[in-house]
């Protein structure tokens, strides 16, 4: 019944006056409420939704079916900081072919591995160790997650892709980590101060990925750990407004895929329900590539076992961070006037930055270039500028250990 019919029926007594008055009041209240709602400010796009709901993902993540040669990988992806999805790159790896639950239980069951409580990462829970065979028995029913550096006994079955086998990558391997769960895991939003190749052996992983150049939009409210406290399932866009505008990329990995995540790119990772097994290789970010090394090695195999190589020390990661800091300066040279900025970047006292500068400036020309950084004996930094090493190890680097990708 419309308003006109309503009024006419009332005038003929078809609707009692009291009933008419009540309905008129209701109607007026409805109009006021509708008007108020219509003009009320809508919440920001993606508010209280999972990461990525604020806008459509950007196109542009390169996908290849053949693993690139090391030189191409360095020039096109590592140096330029571009992600790369390598479809099926791990399908011939031993870990892909052999590492089912029964194999892991019988071959490596007595090894002690690190386990986390909770498959939604929040960085407040501790780690504990348990035997691998015990974990295999429990992980399908429990809210637990194996996050462990590859034990020495398993290193010969973990393999490096061809793209890492020359040019300097194998001299800068920082860690290799196994991620093993029953699925439905969720990491925090974070970045790593190293480059990273992740290979999925079982299950599916999905990445929310943001270019490192968008750092002003991605608020890392735990800077020492390089991660954000944002609830990745219910993003508060009022508390984290930058996340409401930032462009992002979506990458979905299937079993056998490998994905290169560039140095300092922000990312958050989810695994689908069901058995999930992945291995990632962290390596110090390279600014220079050794082509002579590749020429000397000639034709490279598809893979080489991790056990053939030594992991580098934290000092090499610190060298990489110093080199990257200098590379971003004007002319890629560190000068005396840059020392306050360096002290802020590494959260050290001014005298520590001066000590480091003095050690690095080998030709005593009052400036430091990349050649001097790469030729420096990092043990000199450790002994003569211990505050720098101590601060670095207690901050970003130590928190990078075993971040969910």
Whether pLDDT at 290 is above 70: yes
Q: Whole-prediction pTM value?
A: 0.87
Question: Rounded mean pLDDT of the chain?
Answer: 88
Whether pLDDT at 217 is above 80: yes
pLDDT of residue 395: 59
Whether pLDDT at 8 is above 50: no
pLDDT of residue 14: 45
Among the ranges given (11-25, 62-76, 267-281), the one the predictor scored with the smallest mean pLDDT: 11-25
pLDDT of residue 211: 98
How far CA 294 is from CA of 65, 69, 86, 149, 304, in Å, comes to 22, 10, 21, 28, 15
Cβ-contact 44, 54 below 8 angstroms:
yes
Whether pLDDT at 231 is above 70: yes
Cα separation, 304 vs 162, whole angstroms: 8
Cβ-contact 253, 204 below 8 angstroms:
yes
pLDDT of residue 6: 39
The string of DSSP letters for 248-276 reads -EEEEE-TT-EEEE-TT-EEEEEE-EEEE
Query: Helix, strand, coil proportions of the chain in percent (round to 5)?
Result: 40, 20, 40
Per-residue pLDDT tens for 54-73?
999 999 899 999 999 999 99
pLDDT band for 404, please (50, 70, 90 cuts). Answer: low
pLDDT of residue 390: 80
Whether pLDDT at 92 is above 70: yes
The string of DSSP letters for 343-384 reads HHHHT--HHHHHHHHHHH-TT-SSEE-HHHHHHS-HHHHHHH
Whether pLDDT at 206 is above 80: yes
pLDDT of residue 4: 40
Q: Provide mean pLDDT across the span 239-266.
A: 98
pLDDT band for 3, please (50, 70, 90 cuts). Answer: very low
Q: Is 110 exposed, middle or buried (0-12, 13-18, 19+ CB in 10 A)?
A: exposed
Residue with more model confidence, 226 or 323: 323
pLDDT of residue 124: 61
Express as a percent the part of the chain with pLDDT over 90. Answer: 75
Q: Provide mean pLDDT across the span 309-323.
A: 94
Q: Provide mean pLDDT across the span 11-33.
A: 42
pLDDT of residue 27: 45
Among the ranges given (177-191, 328-342, 385-399), the one the predictor scored with the smallest mean pLDDT: 385-399
pLDDT band for 24, please (50, 70, 90 cuts). Answer: very low
CA torsion angle for 49, 51, 53, 54 (degrees, to 10)? 100
Per-residue pLDDT tens for 39-52?
458 999 999 999 99
Q: Where are any strands of DSSP class E within 158-248?
A: 159-161, 173-183, 195-202, 205-210
Cβ burial 56-77 (10 Å sphere, 16+ → b, else e):
eeeeebeeeeebbbbeebbeeb
pLDDT of residue 129: 95
Per-residue pLDDT tens for 98-123?
999 999 999 999 999 999 988 877 76
Whether pLDDT at 13 is above 60: no
pLDDT of residue 125: 64
């Amino acid at each position: 019944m419309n308003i006109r019919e309503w009024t006419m029926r009332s005038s003929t007594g078809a609707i009692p006056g009291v009933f008419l008055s009540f309905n008129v009041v209701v109607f007026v209240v409805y109009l006021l409420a509708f008007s108020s709602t219509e003009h009320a400010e809508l919440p920001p796009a993606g508010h209280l939704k999972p990461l990525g709901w604020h806008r459509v993902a950007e196109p542009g993540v390169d996908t290849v079916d053949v693993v690139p040669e090391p030189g191409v990988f360095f020039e096109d992806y590592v140096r330029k900081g571009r992600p790369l999805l390598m479809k099926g790159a791990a399908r011939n790896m031993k870990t892909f072919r052999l590492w089912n639950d029964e194999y892991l239980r019988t071959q490596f069951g007595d090894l002690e591995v690190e386990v986390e409580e909770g498959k939604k990462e929040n960085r407040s829970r501790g780690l504990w160790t348990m035997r691998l065979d015990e974990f295999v028995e429990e992980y399908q029913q429990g809210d637990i997650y194996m996050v462990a550096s590859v034990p020495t006994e398993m290193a010969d079955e973990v393999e490096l892709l061809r793209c890492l086998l020359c040019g300097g990558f194998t001299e800068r391997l920082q860690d290799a980590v196994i991620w093993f769960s029953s699925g439905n895991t969720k990491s925090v939003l974070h970045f790593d101060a190293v480059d990273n190749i992740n290979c999925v052996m079982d299950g599916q992983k999905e990445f929310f990925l943001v270019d490192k150049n968008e750092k002003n939009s991605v608020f890392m409210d735990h800077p020492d750990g390089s991660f954000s406290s944002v609830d990745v399932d219910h993003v508060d866009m009022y508390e984290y407004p930058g996340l409401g505008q930032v462009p992002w990329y979506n990458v979905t990995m299937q079993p056998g895929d490998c994905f290169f995540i560039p140095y300092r790119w922000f990312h958050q990772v989810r695994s689908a329900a069901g058995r999930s097994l992945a291995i990632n290789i962290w390596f110090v970010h390279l600014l220079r590539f050794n082509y002579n090394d590749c020429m000397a090695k000639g034709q490279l195999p598809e893979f080489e076992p991790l056990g053939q190589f030594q992991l580098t020390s934290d000092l090499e990661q610190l060298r990489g961070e110093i080199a990257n800091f200098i590379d971003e300066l004007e002319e890629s040279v560190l000068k005396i006037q840059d020392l306050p900025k360096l002290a802020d970047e590494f959260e050290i006292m001014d005298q520590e930055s001066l000590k480091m500068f003095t050690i690095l400036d080998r030709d005593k020309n009052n400036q430091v270039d990349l050649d001097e950084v790469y030729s420096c004996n990092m043990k000199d930094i450790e002994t003569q500028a211990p505050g720098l090493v101590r601060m670095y190890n207690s901050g970003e680097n130590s928190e990078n250990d075993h971040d969910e990708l």
